[in-house]
């Protein structure tokens, strides 16, 4: 199978990405997608994702290989934004295609838990004109531990 792993520096169209992905794998009986977007509310004006070139993309590619080795997938897409985003804008899209749905659900879930708290990204948000860095939540680490 082929994985499509992308670090994206500008806005992307999740609907078009999911449609193109599903079309690539007609033999897959199930396509699961997860879209993460900037949460509106709490006075958040903007969100910024930072990455570190030497580590971030190689880390995402290693994650894709790990997902491929764990589940029988026809295809996998991991697309993650870096840069500044507005509320409602997409941050991350994971799509998994498999013959039967369970593998696709689990693969997308695993990939997201690892993107949240085990990938080379740093996140800050702007509230009332002030930027503040966001530390991972305990829940993110608990989510990750489910797969150990």
Interface residue list for another protein (CB under 8 A): 36, 49-50, 52, 54-55, 80, 91-92, 112, 115-124, 133-136, 140
Nearest approach in angstroms of CB 132 to another protein is: 9
CB 114 within 8 A of CB 37: no
Cβ proximity of 118 and 96 under 8 Å: no
CB 83 within 8 A of CB 49: yes
The CB-of-90 to another protein minimum distance in angstroms stands at 11
Taking the C-alpha atoms of residue 86 and residue 89, their distance in angstroms, rounded to an integer, is 6
Residue number with CB closer to another protein (22 or 57):
57
Q: Are 90 and 40 in contact (CB under 8 A)?
A: no
52 or 147, CB closer to another protein? 52
Query: What sign does the dihedral 60-55-13-89 (CA atoms) show?
Result: positive
Which CB, 79 or 106, lies closer to another protein? 79
Closer CB to another protein, 99 or 144, in the complex: 144
CB of 137 vs another protein, minimal distance in Å: 8
């Amino acid at each position: 199978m082929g994985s499509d792993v992308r670090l994206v520096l500008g806005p992307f169209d999740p609907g078009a990405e999911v449609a193109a992905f599903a079309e690539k794998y007609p033999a897959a009986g199930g396509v699961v997608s997860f879209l993460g977007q900037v949460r509106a509310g709490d006075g958040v004006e903007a969100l910024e994702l930072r990455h570190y070139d030497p580590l971030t993309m190689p880390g995402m590619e290693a994650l894709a290989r790990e997902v491929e080795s764990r589940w029988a997938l026809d295809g996998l897409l991991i697309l993650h934004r870096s840069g500044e985003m507005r509320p409602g804008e997409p941050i991350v899209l994971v799509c998994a295609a498999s013959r039967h749905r369970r593998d696709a659900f689990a693969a997308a879930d695993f990939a997201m838990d690892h993107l949240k708290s085990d990938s080379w990204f740093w996140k800050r948000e702007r509230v009332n004109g002030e930027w503040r860095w966001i530390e991972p939540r305990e829940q993110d680490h608990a989510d990750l531990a489910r797969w150990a």
